[in-house]
Amino acid sequence: MRLIIAGHYRFTNKAADELMHDGLDFQDALESILNAQFIKKTIRSKSPQRRRAGEKLYIIESFNYSGTLIYTKGKIDEEAG
């Protein structure tokens, strides 16, 4: 949550496309994350497209301020630069 509040986050193009497809925007996703009372689960990625095998991914399901339940999946990582 602190990373979101501090503005240290980045949405992927895939996330942007999925939000748009569902009639949502970045603000909706951010509201949902900030409203979450807990992380639903933590998993290890099995995708070969990930930079590192077994990356830790955090699943959050929570409501935005309009009451829409939103599913988010993210990771914590350092960016170069």
80 falls in which pLDDT band (50, 70, 90)?
confident
- Phi-psi category of 54—alpha, beta or left, where left has phi over 0 and alpha has psi -120 to 50? left
Q: What share of the chain is helix, strand, coil (3-state, %, to 5)?
A: 30, 20, 50
The predicted model scores a pTM of: 0.85
pLDDT for residue 29 is more than 90: yes
Q: What pLDDT is stored for residue 23 in this prediction?
A: 97
Q: What pLDDT is stored for residue 78 in this prediction?
A: 84
Average confidence (pLDDT) over 10-15 = 95
User: Tens digits of per-residue pLDDT, 40-75?
Assistant: 999 998 877 766 778 899 999 999 999 999 999 999
